């Protein structure tokens, strides 16, 4: 393991104070009757045992050692641990676990990780997904509280049997393209503290990550470092007149506020340590830049950046204060994740033109590859560790054992070729988590038209997974059935050649993907009950959907909760909602000009004052399911701790009543 040579003194100095063993975690990941999975990052190779108990029994009924095969050394003082234990684990039973380490028990090292009254960390592996917490879009420096703190406080108040079966995070667990200045400075300190590896760049303004970090563009200047390209593929740029004019260069990375975009792999890894746990923040000096007089490289930060720094620092301090509860939550509830664009960069793989610009440039290809590498190590690996075979693991280990350009590029190429980011969770009903980013249906007509969120092959695989299932939970980062007026606005901007202006990503934007997806819902062998969980849009809503002209229509529910720490511009949202009500009411003739004309969509009203159906509040989604997979209750828990429900529509109540009457009239009920 190599580190930045210029940082050796800094790294050695940090060991005058002892690093905590647990840098982040443990996070409870995939759990079922066959496996239990824990992810964490430690400051030394983890030695000891995992112990699992029934209830409050004194002796464990299962224990296993942590092995070297379960750990990857990612820095001089950092080990990523993915411990998957195989056994026969009882379902729907009160369990408790602890970790005995070379420095003592986990519960002694991290006493705040316990809920009141606990001696060990308690959990239940549920056979039925009766209660799910879900959400997306967690921006650490967005003004306001972190909804994961509210989720933890809710769990703390519940008996073990009433806790969520799982926590589903459906995208934007980090904002790689929108990083606060204080966070980026903390990331730089973490790289030094843990001895995370340096890397060299090709076709970039700086030859290495360490050179960038030492420069005046380290903070609030990275938008000038990111690569650019000359766009083609829209009606304006392809005209003869425009071809004679000087080509205008545009940035590959299109986020509005990318002055602190993450670039190096070590930056992505450090970011993950900082969003899941308070432990690393305690090693960081958040006042360091101010003590240096806002000196960045050889330059002084401009006044506007100093002012922004102070604003961001206030929000980051609030975020840090809640992390002890976030750490506690994910240590108790099996947690699953999937990426969306901000885990990598805004508008990731939006169009064919974007992909060509990004992947044909060595520097942007490296940045995106680093984000995927970080996603795999800190998110994707724990969703289903068995999906990552020996060849995959060998490439990852090869890089970290001797970081160099060849092993780095080999791993990134492997990540780009990997096609199994999607996965299933064996609950009842089955949960199918979709990858809507890396297997896209490319537009064949124009380079700048939005791609379909999944290609034909991926959608066919999805359909095969659904056949003969009585009910299913589908996790789609972006809503399948969104707000029609906003989707129409996105289409207009796409026709004008500006899809990036309004984030024109929705399932209906690509005809092939939209029609194939809708045909899945109409197939006779697909489930009776579809529950679709989504995020992405920064507002929350719930729809009930039926097929037109079908007596035995499947029951489809679109449930969107977003964001965990993010909201939509309030005035703009209200305008969009009013226009949607005006133009796309259930009886509007305009519905017949949409791709979902075969669907009847009934919008649920939240149990809040007023007429708004779109709730604009940072929140965590809450979903309670009946035994047959239908929603029993749909709600959101706001960051302030308020519960807002979405009661059934009049049509849904009528359907339930008719179904009950039919069931009562059956001969076997007499």
523 confidence band (pLDDT: 50, 70, 90): confident
Report pLDDT digits (tens) over 275-326: 999 999 999 999 999 999 999 988 999 999 999 999 999 999 999 999 999 9
Please give the average per-residue pLDDT across 48-77, as a whole number. Answer: 96
pLDDT of residue 494: 57
Q: pLDDT tens digits for 630-667?
A: 999 999 999 999 999 999 998 888 777 777 667 667 66
Percent pLDDT > 70 in the chain is 90
Query: Given pLDDT bands bounded at 50, 70 and 90, which one contains residue 243?
Result: low
Q: Which helix (H) or strand (E) holds 36?
A: strand 35-42
Confidence of residue 526 (pLDDT cuts 50, 70, 90): confident
- What's the predicted TM-score (pTM) here? 0.93
pLDDT band at 235 (very low <50, low <70, confident <90, very high): very low
Residue position matching structure tokens 């209660």: 131
643 pairs with which residues across the strands?
A: 637
Q: Is 379 helix (H, G, I), strand (E, B) or coil?
A: helix
DSSP code at position 224: G
**Helix (DSSP H) and strand (DSSP E) numbers for the chain:** 20, 26
Sign for the pseudo-dihedral over CA of 350, 353, 359, 361? negative
Q: What pLDDT, on the 0 to 100 scale, is given for residue 12? A: 47
pLDDT at residue number 655: 76
Q: Which residue has the higher pLDDT, 120 or 581?
A: 120
Distance CA 372, CA 25 (A): 20
The maximal CA–CA distance of the chain, rounded, in angstroms, is 86
Q: What is the DSSP string of 350-375?
A: -BHHHHHHHHTSHHHHHHHHHHHHHH
Query: How do residues 321-370 score in pLDDT, each as one tens digit?
Result: 999 999 999 999 999 999 999 999 999 999 999 999 999 999 999 999 99
Angle, vertex CA 590, rays to CA 589 and CA 595, nearest 5: 120
Q: Which residues sit opposite 48 in a β-bridge?
A: 101
Could you please state the CATH topology (level 3) that the domain comprising 27-123 is classified under: Immunoglobulin-like (2.60.40)
**Spatial separation of the C-alpha atoms in residues 155 and 162, rounded to whole Å:** 9
Q: Is the pLDDT of residue 14 over 80?
A: no
> pLDDT value at position 497?
57
Whole-number pLDDT of residue 254: 84
Asked whether the beta carbons of 29 and 382 are under 8 A apart, the reply is yes
* Contacts within 8 Å (CB) and 24+ apart, 417-426: 418/392, 420/387, 421/338, 421/339, 421/380, 422/338, 422/458, 423/383, 423/384, 423/387, 424/384, 424/465, 425/30, 425/129, 425/166, 425/336, 426/32
- Contact residues for 353 (Cβ-Cβ < 8 A; gap 6+): 231, 232, 233, 447, 448
Note the helical H segments in 334-444: 352-359, 362-375, 381-383, 390-401, 405-417
A 10 A CB-CB count for 654 gives 11
3-state class (DSSP) for residue 320: helix
- Is residue 27 classed as helix, strand or coil in its secondary structure? strand
Stretch 547-556: mean pLDDT, rounded?
Answer: 84
Tell me what the pLDDT averaged over the chain comes to. Answer: 91
In the chain, where the domains are located: 27-123, 132-171+470-669, 181-335
* CA pair distance 578, 317, nearest whole angstrom: 37
Instruction: Annotate 611-648 with DSSP letters as a single string.
Output: S--SB-S-EEEEEEE-TTS-EEEEEEEETTS-EEE-PP
Task: Name the band, by pLDDT with cuts 50, 70 and 90, for residue 11.
Answer: low
- Among candidate residues 599, 614, 619, 618, the one with its CA nearest the CA of residue 646: 614
Span 588-601, mean pLDDT?
Answer: 72
Q: Exposure string (b/e) for 443-458, b if CB count within 10 Å is 16 or more? A: beebbbbbbbbbbeeb
pLDDT for residue 594 = 66
| Among 573, 559, 576, 581, CA closest to 633 | 559
Among candidate residues 130, 43, 71, the one with its CA nearest the CA of residue 627: 130
CA distance 451 to 246: 28
pLDDT band at 6 (very low <50, low <70, confident <90, very high): very low
C-alpha span between 636 and 69 (Å, rounded): 40
Q: Closest Cα to residue 54, out of 120, 143, 148, 147?
A: 120
pLDDT of residue 496: 60
Q: What is the mean pLDDT of residues 474-484?
A: 93
SS (H, E, C) 49-98: EEEEEECCCCCCCEEEECCHHHEEEEECCEEEEEEEEECCCCCCCCEEEE
């Amino acid at each position: 393991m190599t580190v930045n040579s210029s940082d050796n003194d800094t790294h050695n100095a940090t060991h005058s104070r002892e690093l905590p063993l647990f840098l982040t975690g443990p996070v409870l990941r995939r759990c079922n009757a066959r496996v239990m999975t824990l992810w964490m990052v430690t400051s030394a190779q983890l030695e000891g045992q995992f112990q699992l108990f029934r209830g409050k029994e004194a002796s464990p009924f299962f224990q296993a050692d942590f092995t070297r095969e379960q750990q990857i050394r990612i820095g001089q003082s950092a080990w990523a641990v993915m411990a998957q234990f195989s056994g026969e684990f009882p379902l729907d039973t009160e369990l408790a676990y602890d970790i005995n380490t070379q420095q003592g028990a986990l519960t002694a090292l991290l006493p705040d990780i316990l809920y009141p009254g606990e001696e060990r960390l308690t959990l239940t592996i549920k056979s039925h997904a009766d209660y799910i917490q879900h959400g997306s879009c967690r921006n650490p420096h967005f003004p306001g509280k972190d909804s994961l703190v509210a989720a933890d406080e809710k769990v703390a108040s519940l008996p073990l049997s009433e806790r969520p079966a799982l926590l589903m995070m459906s995208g934007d667990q980090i904002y790689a393209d929108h990083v606060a200045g204080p966070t980026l400075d903390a990331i730089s300190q973490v790289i030094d503290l843990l001895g995370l590896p340096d890397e060299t760049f090709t076709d970039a303004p700086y030859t290495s990550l360490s050179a960038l970090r030492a420069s005046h563009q380290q903070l609030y200047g990275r938008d000038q470092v990111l690569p650019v390209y000359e766009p083609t593929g829209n009606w304006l740029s392809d005209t003869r007149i425009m071809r004679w004019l000087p080509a205008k260069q545009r940035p590959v990375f299109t986020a509005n506020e990318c002055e602190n975009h993450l670039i190096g792999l070590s930056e992505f890894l450090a970011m993950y340590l900082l969003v899941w746990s308070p432990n690393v923040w305690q090693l960081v000096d958040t006042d360091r830049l101010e003590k240096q007089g806002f000196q960045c490289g050889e330059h002084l930060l401009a006044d506007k950046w100093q002012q922004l720094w102070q604003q961001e620092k206030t929000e980051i301090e609030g975020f840090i204060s809640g992390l002890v509860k976030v750490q506690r939550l994910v240590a108790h509830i099996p947690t699953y994740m999937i990426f969306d664009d901000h885990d990598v960069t805004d508008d990731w793989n939006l169009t064919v033109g974007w992909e060509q610009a990004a992947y044909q440039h060595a520097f942007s290809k490296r940045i995106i590859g680093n984000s995927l590498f970080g996603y795999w190590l800190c998110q994707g690996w724990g969703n289903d560790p068995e999906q990552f075979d020996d060849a995959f693991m060998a490439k990852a280990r090869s890089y970290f054992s001797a970081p160099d350009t060849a092993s780095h590029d080999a791993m990134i190429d492997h990540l780009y070729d990997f096609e199994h980011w999607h996965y299933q969770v064996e609950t009842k009903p089955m949960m199918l988590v979709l990858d809507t980013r890396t297997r896209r249906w490319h537009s064949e007509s124009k380079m700048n038209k939005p791609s379909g969120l999944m290609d034909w092959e991926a959608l066919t695989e999805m359909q095969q997974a659904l056949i003969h299932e009585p009910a299913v939970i589908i996790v789609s980062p972006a809503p399948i059935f969104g707000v029609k007026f906003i989707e129409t606005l996105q289409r207009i901007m796409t026709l004008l050649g500006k899809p990036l202006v309004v984030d024109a990503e929705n399932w209906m934007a690509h005809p092939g993907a939209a029609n194939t997806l809708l045909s899945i819902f109409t197939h006779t062998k697909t489930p009776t009950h579809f529950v679709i969980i989504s995020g992405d849009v920064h507002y929350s809503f719930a729809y009930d959907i039926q097929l037109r002209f079908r007596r035995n229509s499947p029951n489809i529910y679109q449930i969107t909760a977003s964001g965990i720490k993010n909201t939509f511009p309030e005035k703009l949202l209200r305008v969009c909602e009013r226009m949607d009500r005006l133009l796309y009411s259930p009886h509007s003739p305009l519905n017949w000009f949409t791709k979902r004309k075969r669907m009847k969509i009934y919008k649920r009203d939240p149990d809040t004052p007023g007429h708004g159906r779109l709730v604009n509040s940072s929140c965590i989604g809450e979903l309670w399911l009946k035994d047959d997979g239908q929603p029993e209750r749909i709600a959101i828990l706001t960051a302030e701790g308020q519960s807002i429900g979405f009661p059934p529509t009049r049509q849904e109540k009528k359907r339930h009543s008719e179904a009950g009457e039919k069931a009562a009239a059956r001969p076997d009920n007499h």
